[in-house]
């Protein structure tokens, strides 16, 4: 047998083994009816009038879901589903800022769906679950479970039951950061004519997300829409996830319209040995200024108004990306290519911070 023929035989054997293994896995999943359902992070939830992603306060005495806390013989939190519901009609949403897990069920026929949870119970390992209630919407039923912390999870659909296994973020990811686009809602930040700081910080965060999604870094965003979590919630997200760093995105303003440039704010009150807040701020300013070919105004100590930076217990810094009150920078801050360059500078900061 020639060398070429031996190579072809080996390749045929490898292909046969691969196909057999793949078929075996498919048959196993089919036999056991195990299907992974769609998982959606808070920053990926689609915004629409029918999909109310802004969480409303839970009404404990209305549409409550009974939680059977006596059965703890499994690692999974078990959510029964009606027999008519298919896996592709179920979506799990991680609303980590609200510390809620949403299970959305969108079948073709909504009849009797609410009654199923009015009369039934969820069960299993409920240690992470505080409350449960359901909301009936136009095209879906949304089961909302209040959690006692920020969690990641694995979920599978088997025999008309959704099994959810909760885990701490650090159990799921080695690298975790928090990105905090400042302002939101009525807090517009600096506003000039039709542009406001809250819109700029959000655009930078979205551009940054596209870059960070290509890495092995888990990123939690304090907001990815026109919401405004309070300072305590932003700080708590970093603490709850045990984030390696928190980066806040801000926009400057000044009565002197000639003032322009970039600054970084750090917490001088909370010392972290090694790579701490001042090191992060220094790296952040250098990388952003380099990316935009801008002017560096230096580092600033956080003042009393810089609550998020002052209260953070992880390396934290804010990058002030420019002065909206300066005519030239206001024009730049509205350009997509300039936003992309700011995002690139922050991205490079994160990458190089992990190299420290």
For every residue of 89-150, DSSP letters joined together read GEEEEEETTTTEEEEEE--S--TTHHHHHHH-EEEE--TTEEEEEEEE-SS-EEEEEEESS-
Between vectors from CA 148 to CA 176 and to CA 75, what angle results, nearest 5°? 85
pLDDT at residue 356 in the model: 82
Torsion sign across C-alpha atoms 168, 281, 336, 307: positive
- The β-bridge partners of 132 are 145
| CA 235/CA 311 separation, integer angstroms | 7
Which backbone phi and psi does 103 adopt, to 5 degrees?
-115, 110
Which residue did the predictor score with more confidence, 4 or 184? 184
Contact yes or no for 24/79 (Cβ under 8 A): no
Contact partners, residue 329, CB within 8 Å, separation at least 6: 260, 322, 323
**Token pair 């009816």: residue:** 33
- Find the farthest-apart pair of alpha carbons in the chain and give their distance in angstroms, rounded: 85
Share of the chain above pLDDT 70, in %: 85
Query: What are 236-290's pLDDT values in tens digits?
Result: 999 999 999 999 999 999 999 999 999 999 988 877 788 899 999 999 999 999 9
If pLDDT is split at 50, 70 and 90, which confidence band does 27 have? very low
Q: How many CB atoms lie within 10 A of CB 22?
A: 10
Q: Which of 228, 221, 189, 186 is nearest to 205 (CA)?
A: 221
If pLDDT is split at 50, 70 and 90, which confidence band does 22 have? very low
pLDDT (average), residues 315-319:
97
Q: What share of the chain is helix, strand, coil (3-state, %, to 5)?
A: 35, 30, 40
Residue 1: pLDDT over 70: no
Average pLDDT, the chain: 88
Write down all domains in the chain, each with its CATH number in brackets.
38-167 (2.60.40), 171-353 (3.40.630.40)
Query: What are 176-202's pLDDT values in tens digits?
Result: 999 999 999 999 999 998 899 999 999
Between vectors from CA 51 to CA 58 and to CA 240, what angle results, nearest 5°? 55
Parallel, antiparallel or unpaired: strands 141-147 and 90-95: unpaired
pLDDT at residue 52 in the model: 42
Parallel, antiparallel or unpaired: strands 195-196 and 296-301: unpaired
pLDDT at residue 26 in the model: 42
pLDDT at residue 53 in the model: 43
- Joined together, the tokens standing for residue 218 give 């888990």
Residue 3: pLDDT over 80: no
Contact partners, residue 278, CB within 8 Å, separation at least 6: 266, 268, 299
Helix (H) or strand (E) holding 324: none
- Joined together, the tokens standing for residue 18 give 């691969």
pLDDT (average), residues 27-51:
57
- Joined together, the tokens standing for residue 137 give 């919407």
Residue 66: pLDDT over 90: yes
**Token pair 């002030």: residue:** 320
- The β-bridge partners of 133 are 64, 144
Record the pTM: 0.86
| CA 10/CA 6 separation, integer angstroms | 6
- CA dist 309 to 234, 299, 318, Å? 10, 13, 7
Q: Which ranges in the chain belong to alpha helices (H)?
A: 3-32, 113-119, 169-172, 197-212, 231-240, 277-292, 307-311, 327-332, 336-353
Helix (H) or strand (E) holding 319: strand 316-323
- CA dist 331 to 64, 236, 318, 335, Å? 51, 35, 22, 7
pLDDT at residue 10 in the model: 54
């Amino acid at each position: 047998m020639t060398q070429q023929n031996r190579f072809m035989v080996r390749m045929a054997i490898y292909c046969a083994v691969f196909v057999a293994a793949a078929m075996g896995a498919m048959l196993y999943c089919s036999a056991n009816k195990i299907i992974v359902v769609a998982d959606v992070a808070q920053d990926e939830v689609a915004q629409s009038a029918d999909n109310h992603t802004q969480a409303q306060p839970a009404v404990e005495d209305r549409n409550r879901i009974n939680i059977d806390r006596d059965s703890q013989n499994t690692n999974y939190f078990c959510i029964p589903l009606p027999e008519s519901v298919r896996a592709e009609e179920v979506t799990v949403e991680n609303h980590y800022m609200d510390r809620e897990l949403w299970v959305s069920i969108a079948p073709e026929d909504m009849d009797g769906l609410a009654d199923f949870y009015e009369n039934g119970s969820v069960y299993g390992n409920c240690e992470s679950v505080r409350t449960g209630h359901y909301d009936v919407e136009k095209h879906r039923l949304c089961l909302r479970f209040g959690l006692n912390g920020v969690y990641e999870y694995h979920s599978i659909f088997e025999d008309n039951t959704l099994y959810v296994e909760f885990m701490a973020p650090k159990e799921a990811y080695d690298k975790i950061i928090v990105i905090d686009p400042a302002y939101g809602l009525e807090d517009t930040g600096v506003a000039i004519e039709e542009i406001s700081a809250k819109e700029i910080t959000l655009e930078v965060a979205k551009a940054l997300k596209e870059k960070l999604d290509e890495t092995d870094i888990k990123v939690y965003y304090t907001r990815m829409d026109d919401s405004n979590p309070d300072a305590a919630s932003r700080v708590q997200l970093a603490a709850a996830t045990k984030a390696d760093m928190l980066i806040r995105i801000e926009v400057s303003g000044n009565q002197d319209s000639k003032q322009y440039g970039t600054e970084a704010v750090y917490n001088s009150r909370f010392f972290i040995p090694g790579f701490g807040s001042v090191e992060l701020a220094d790296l952040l300013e250098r990388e952003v200024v380099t990316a935009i070919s801008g002017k560096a105004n230096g580092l600033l100590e956080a003042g009393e108004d810089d609550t998020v930076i002052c209260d953070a217990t992880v390396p934290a810094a804010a990058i002030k990306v420019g002065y909206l009150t300066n005519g030239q920078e206001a024009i730049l801050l509205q350009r997509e290519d300039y936003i992309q360059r700011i995002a690139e500078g922050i991205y490079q900061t994160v990458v190089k911070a992990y190299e420290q």
